[in-house]
Amino acid sequence: MSNKKVNLVTGASSGMGKISAQDLIKAGHIVYCVARSVDKMKDLEQIGGHVMKMDVTNEADIEAVVKQVIAEQGRIDVLWNNAGYGLYGPVEDLPMEKVQQQFEVNVYGVARLTQKVLPYMRDRREGLIINTSSMGGKIYTPLGAWYHATKHAIEGYSDCLRMEVKEFGIKVVVLEPGMINTGFNAAVRDNFSFESQNGPYKRLVNGYIKAMENNPAPGSKPEVISRTVLKIINARNPKTRYLVGHGGKLLVGIRRIFGDKAFDTMMLASMR
């Protein structure tokens, strides 16, 4: 791949995706910024980004975007599957429609887009796929069963994909952000329904909300992710995983060293 790479970035309308897309553009790369809300990406367009609407759960959207990138550039060097969100609440309370949507975006959306891009990378015998997991793909919290399930799924999916595409010169990297200051906690808090705050799991739910509100550590700046993505793209032989951002290495290390029961106790104690 040349130094100037063609990047397709999902979830580019906010947070890590937007900051990183901005920095990729400034670094001289060709960046296709996609998300459901085009209006939120006007600033990326003004600095040279190619802005397109795409819902990762919509097959027609995906096909149209990939077709246009190939028509205009002839290739996709880097696919960054970054779109996703966190669904939180008690397993018993969350309706299965919401659970299915969490998987549609966080897992099946990644799979749909990757399937459409792979033939072009395979034909050129080169390419890089970055899948955004989370430190939540290695650890867990109460009330986050479905979010963590999707991120654990991305970890396993990426490992298998990495081996399948190796012979075609395609690299697969898992990005595992820790706590990043992108408004994630506020979005999680908003997902808790009135019923959950007053239902059988109210002690845990209200303890979780209180813990987030009182959390003195707002997380790392999104630029931590931006720098990491640039490092991955520029690396001749990138690592298979990049665990970066506040609390990531610490919490993953605690679980690995002390085991699940000790980690359970620590998590529950933080939500009293």
Spans of all domains in the chain:
6-269
Q: Token pair for residue 186?
A: 């506020």
SS3 assignment, position 181: coil
pLDDT band at 86 (very low <50, low <70, confident <90, very high): very high
Catalytic residue among 5, 18, 138, 151: 151
Q: What is the CATH number of domain 6-269?
A: 3.40.50.720
pLDDT band at 1 (very low <50, low <70, confident <90, very high): very low
Catalytic residue among 20, 133, 196, 226: 133
Give pLDDT, residue 192: 67
Q: Who's near 129: CB < 8 A, 6+ residues apart?
A: 78, 79, 80, 81, 114, 117, 121, 161, 165, 170, 171, 172, 173
Mean pLDDT of all residues in 214-225: 79
What b/e sequence results for 239-248 when a residue is b if at least 16 CB atoms lie within 10 Å of its CB, and e otherwise? eebbbbbbbb
CA angle 243–126–12, rounded 5-degree value: 50
Q: Token pair for residue 84?
A: 């996703």
249 is catalytic: no
What percent helix, strand, coil does the chain show, rounded to 5?
A: 55, 15, 30
Q: Who's near 264: CB < 8 A, 6+ residues apart?
A: none
Catalytic residue among 13, 20, 158, 226: 13
Share of the chain above pLDDT 70, in %: 93
Looking at the DSSP bridge assignments, the partners of residue 220 are: 180
Answer whether residue 2 shows pLDDT above 60: no
Catalytic residue among 32, 88, 140, 147: 147
Query: Lowest-pLDDT range, 84-98, 199-213, 239-253?
Result: 199-213
Q: Token pair for residue 211?
A: 């813990």
2 is catalytic: no
